[in-house]
Amino acid sequence: MATTAPGNTPANVRYNRNRRGQLAIWWQEIDRTFLALVLILMGIGAIAVAAGSPASARRLSTAHERLPALYFFWLHLRWQFVGLCAMFWASSLSKDSARRLGILIAGMMIFGLLLVPVVGSEVNGAKRWLHFGISLQPSQFLGTGFPILLAWILSWRARDPNIPVVAICFCLMGLIGALLMAQPDFGSTMLFSGTFFVMILLAGIPLKRIGMFAGAGVAGIVLMYFTYANGRNRIDSFLSGGNAFDQVDLAQRTLLNGGWFGQGFWMGIRKMALPEAHTDYIFSVIGEEFGLIACMVIVCLYLALLVRVMMRLTEEEDLFTVLAASGIASQFGGQAFINILVNLQLFPSKGMTLPLVSYGGSSTVAMCLTVGLLLAITRRNPFIKREGFSLRAIGDVSS
C-alpha cells in the first residue's frame, strides 16, 4: 500500500493535527481545578434559576401576556452557552493576548461610561444602559477589564521606578467612581473600590498611603449618604432592621423557610412574593428549596475558587499576573459575598447578582469572559519550575 511522504501530508490533516496539539497544550496549561469549580457553580446556577423562574415569571406576567414558568430558565441556558463559548475562547489566548484584550475592554467600557449620561437609558431612576441594537451595561464588562488594566499600570513600576503609578491608578479610580456615581451605581462603585484597594495593597504601597486612600473612601461613603437618597434609604433600612415588606427581610425569611434540607424543588412558597427571585435573591430561593446545607456548599465553592487562585499564584514570578489574577479574584469574591450577606440581612441591599449562579444576559457573558481571561493569565507550563514572586523584587512603590 502506498504511503504519503511527510512533506506531502494534506493541509486539512496538518491543520487537524495542529489543532489537537494546541488543545493538548491548553489542557495542560490551564488550571483545570478552577475550571471544574466554575462549571459546578454554573450547573448549580441552572438548577437555581429553574427554581426561581416561576416566581419571577408570575410577577412579570401581565393581563395580555403570561410568561411560562420556566421562561427565565430557558433564556439562562442560552446565555450560559454564549458565556461558555466566550470563556473557552478567552482561556485559549496567550497571556499577552489576554492582557491586551482586557485593556481594550476596559478602555471601551470607560468610554461607554462617558456616553451613559448623554445617550443612556434610564430604568428605575438609574441611567446605566446603552442601547445600540443590543442593550449593554458598561459597568458589567468594565469588571472584566478593570483589574487587568490596573495590574498593567502597576506593573510599569518594575520596569521604570520613576513612573508615578500610584497617582495614575488613583486618578483612574477617581474617574471611574465619578462616572459610576453619576448613574448612580453605588454598588459597583464600592466593588471597584474594593478591588482597587486590594490591588494597591498587594503592590506594596506604604501603609501611610493606604490609610489616606481608606480615609478618602470613608469620606466618599459619608458624602454618598447625604447626597444619594436611594443609598441613604437602604442604609437606614439595614440599620433599623427593615420591616416585613422590605426586600432584604423577605429574602432572609425565604432563605430560612427551607430549614437545613429545604422544602424541595418547586415546593417553596415564600419565593413567590420575593422580587428578583431569579437574580439578586436567588441565594434565598436556594435556601428555601434546597436548604441551608446547599447554601453552605455554595459558600464553600466560592471560598475554594479564591483559595485555588491564591495557590496558583504562589509559584508565579510575574508581577502583572499576580496583580491581575488577585484583582479578578477579589472582585469576583467580593460580589459573591456581598450578595450572600445581603440575602442574610447582614449587609445593605446593593442590587448585585450572585456570579455564575444568578440569571443574567450580558452579566453572565461578562462573568464568563472574566473567568476565561483569568484562566488565560494564569496559564503555565506544568513542567517548568518557577521561583515564587516577591514584592521586594520591585522595590519601593510609594510614588
Residue 110, pLDDT score? 92
Residue 305, pLDDT score? 94
Q: Is the peptide bond before 147 cis (omega within 30 degrees of 0)?
A: no
Taking the CA atoms of 175, 176, 178 and 183 in sequence, report the sign of the dihedral they define.
positive
Residue 17, pLDDT score? 64
The residues facing 123 across adjacent strands are: 126
Residue 394, pLDDT score? 46
Task: Determine the Cα–Cα distance for residues 315 and 157; give it in Å rounded to an integer.
Answer: 21
Task: Yes or no: say if 152 and 315 are a contact pair by the CB < 8 Å rule.
Answer: no
Over the stretch 96-137, which tens digit does the pLDDT of each residue have?
999 999 999 999 999 988 888 877 776 666 677 777 767 778
Residue 231, pLDDT score? 64
Q: Which positions ≥6 away from 309 have C-beta within 8 Å?
A: 34, 325, 326, 328, 329, 374, 378
Over the stretch 206-220, which tens digit does the pLDDT of each residue have?
667 677 777 777 777
DSSP for 179-238 reads HHHTTT-HHHHHHHHHHHHHHHHHTT--HHHHHHHHHHHHHHHHHHHHH-HHHHHHHHHH
Name the residue among 280, 277, 279, 235 with its Cα closest to residue 254: 277
Q: What is the DSSP-derived secondary structure letter of residue 67?
A: -
Name the residue among 248, 283, 251 with its Cα closest to residue 270: 251
Q: What's the residue count for the chain?
A: 399
Secondary structure element (H or E) that encloses residue 136, with its range: strand 135-136
Task: Determine the Cα–Cα distance for residues 345 and 15; give it in Å rounded to an integer.
Answer: 55
Task: Yes or no: say if 287 and 256 are a contact pair by the CB < 8 Å rule.
Answer: yes
Low-confidence ranges of the chain (pLDDT < 50): 1-3, 244-245, 391-399
